[in-house]
Amino acid sequence: MGAITAKTNREAQRGNKKKAAAAPALKVILHLILWAVALLQIFPLIWLINYSFLKSGDFFGSGILKWPKSFEWNNYVNAFTYGSVPRFLLNSLMITTVTIVVAAFLALMLGYAFTRMEWKLRGPAMAFIMLGMIVPIHATLLPNFILFDKLNLIDNPLSLILPYIAFSLPISLLIISGFLETIPKSIEESAVMDGCSVFGVIFRIIMPMTKPAIATVCIMNFISWWNEFIMANTFLTSETFKTLPFSIMKFTGQYSSNYGAQFAVMTIIALPTVIIYLLFTEQMSRGITAGAVKG
């Protein structure tokens, strides 16, 4: 212990000279601040789980967190039975998976076409897709409803998947093309020299190299569509294809609500998001920063 402090002291002295290493006190303060921030960030999750075990009548009492007198596992039972969580979960899973896979695929192809290929109207075409970013979802609800109604697509998963993909494209394209810019062209040139076709270049050379960007795009799209409600609410009518947010609605009465069950459903909805975040944070930050720094 003494040796370590001596060492750190020495290091601190050296740090003073170099003005680089932080003093131990400062380090502790920094750690405390970071811990406080971390706790603040995690708190809503703890709160969510805590509330999912309470009786509806216990909510909004004096305390912020409340230790349940008896754990209300019944909330979860309700969520699974009456709330149709398994079915809605499967629907959500299917719809978001198709969306993110197709969106990533299209964004990659488009990104390649816009950054590597020379063609007329390339600039305007890219600008046109990017324009999609300024279109608010609400403005598309009515025209889409009329369109889907004519196409007989109301109450069909496609009525969600298509607009989801469309809304994912601009930002996905932005990230992927930004990433593609950082990949030296010489790699592809040598591939072509070895007899690789255009699709070969995209799927054998580019795709493996853009994995971080693709992962970023997938996660971002997952997060935006996993809980989507406005479009789902407008385009779906029957129980068959409803997505997870509808489970919460099932516990909302005209005047009073079953809060316990709602929180249980919300916990279940939040879980996949948290897990995916934990698994892919590294790739995500790599994907976003890769385009920013010229390597």
Partner 1 sequence: MKKMWITLVAMLMVFTVAACSSNNGNNGSSGNKGTVPSPADEAKATETAKEDKNAEPVTLKFFTALADRSNGAGKIEQAIIDSYIAENPNVKIEVEALQDEPYKSKIKVYASTNAVPDIIQAWGQTSFIKPLIDNDMLLELNESEFESSNFVPGAKDGFSQDGKLYGLPRGTDFLVIYYNKKLFDDNGLSVPTTTTELLEVSKQLRAKGINPIATNAMEGWSLPIWFEYAAQRHTGDFNKMDAVLSGEGKFSGDADFLAAAQDIAALAENKGLADGFLTADYGMSRNLFGQGQAAMYVMGNWEAGLATDENFPEEFRNNVGAISYPASDKGAATDVAAWYGGGYSVSKNSKHPEAAVAFLKYFFAPENWAKQVWETGSGTPAQKFDQFLTGNETALQKQLVDIFSAMTSSSGTPVHDNGTDEFKTIVMEAHQKLFGKQITPEQFLTEMDAAVAVLK
Smallest gap from residue 18 Cβ to partner 1 (A):
47
Instruction: Please identify, using beta-carbon distances, which residue of 125 and 154 lies nearer to partner 1.
Output: 154
Q: How far apart are CA 110 and CA 127, in angstroms?
A: 12
Closest CB to partner 1 among residues 79, 174: 79
Shortest Å, Cβ 154 to partner 1: 8
For the CB of residue 55, give the shortest distance to partner 1 in the complex, in Å: 5
Long-range contacts of 136-145 (CB under 8 A, 24+ apart): 137/167, 137/230, 137/231, 138/230, 141/230, 141/231, 141/234, 144/231, 144/234, 144/235, 145/234, 145/235
Could you tell me the smallest distance in angstroms from the CB atom of residue 81 to partner 1? 10
| CB closer to partner 1 out of 156 and 227 | 156
- Angle CA 23–28–31, to nearest 5: 125
In the chain, the largest separation of any two C-alpha atoms, in whole Å, equals: 80
Nearer to partner 1, 160 or 284 (CB): 160
Compare residues 126 and 169 and give the one whose CB is closer to partner 1.
169
CA pair distance 161, 96, nearest whole angstrom: 8
In the complex, the smallest distance separating the C-beta of residue 156 from partner 1, rounded to whole angstroms, is 5
Min. distance of Cβ 105 from partner 1 in angstroms? 7
Q: Which is nearer to partner 1, 126 or 242 (CB)?
A: 242
Sign (positive or negative) of CA dihedral 100, 101, 104, 106: negative
**Residues near 187 by beta carbon (within 8 Å), at least 6 away in sequence:** 205, 209
Report the first-to-last Cα separation within the chain, whole angstroms: 42
Q: How far is the CB of 284 from partner 1 (least distance, A)?
A: 19
What's the chain's Rg over C-alpha atoms? 25
* Binding interface with partner 1 (CB under 8 A): 55-62, 82, 94, 97-98, 101-102, 105, 141-142, 145-146, 149, 155-158, 161, 203-204, 207-208, 233-234, 237-241, 249-259
Which residue intervals of the chain are DSSP H helices?
A: 2-18, 24-51, 74-81, 85-115, 122-131, 137-151, 158-181, 185-193, 198-200, 207-209, 211-226, 230-235, 245-250, 259-290
DSSP letter string over 219-240? HHHHHHHHT--HHHHHH--SST
User: Minimal distance in Å, beta carbon 27 to partner 1?
Assistant: 40
Among candidates 221, 193, 191, which has minimal Cα distance to 206? 191
Nearer to partner 1, 91 or 177 (CB): 91
Q: Given the complex with partner 1, which of 180 and 218 has the nearer CB atom? A: 218
